[in-house]
Amino acid sequence: MIAMITTASDTVLPLLRKATAELHAKLDNSLPLASAYPSIEDYSQHLLGFKNWLSEIAAFVDRSSFSSSEFSEINTALLKLLERDLQALNVKVTSPAPSNESSIKLNAAYCMGIEYVVKGSALGSAMLYNKAAKMFPAAPIEFMQDSKNNGKHRWKEFIEKLEAYDWTEDDLASAQQGSVWAFQRYIKLHEMSQEQ
């Protein structure tokens, strides 16, 4: 018999944070905007890295019937903002080769683990908004401004989704795997960009 989990945000969020804590710290410390005095090139590379990662995430979850239409719509909207910012910065947008993840067995919980990372990353971009606006006053900041304006609301809706879901122990394991995979892909794509 599969045990049911009744306290979603109290149970699920701490597990996701614990599962991804080391990866989160590794990513944060390696991103272009992590330096004390980032350049406009760093800002451009930060946006490009996020765009490449989110493109892969969106393509991956859209292949599944388990991901919500709301999540897909937000991904599409964010990608459009990123592309506009990058075009204004005269950055050539190139996408890395897609990952081959056919071995992953997607389910709703795995997709929510991925969504946890995407929605959390948008909150992080909201925190970077003031820094970017101050350091690069002439730079396009539509993506970060959107994160600042809508990130908290989207996170609240995500928490409500967690609360409405009937979690099992197997679901918790799947959600953690999804969140770890999303962080690992971001780190891998960032490392690949550094090698070019």
List per-block mean pLDDT (blocks of 10 residues) for the chain, which spans 196 residues: 57 94 92 86 92 90 75 90 94 68 76 93 84 87 91 91 90 95 92 73
pTM of the model: 0.89
Tell me how far CA of residue 147 lies from CA of 74, 127, 142, in angstroms.
11, 9, 9
Question: What percentage of the chain's residues is helix, strand, coil (to nearest 5)?
Answer: 75, 0, 25
Which amino acid is located at 182 in the chain?
A: A
pLDDT digits (tens, 9 = 90+) for 44-101: 999 999 999 999 998 888 777 676 788 888 899 999 999 999 999 999 877 655 566 6
| Maximal C-alpha separation, the chain | 59
Q: Could you tell me if 161 and 118 are in contact, meaning their C-beta atoms sit under 8 angstroms apart?
A: no
C-alpha span between 91 and 82 (Å, rounded)? 11
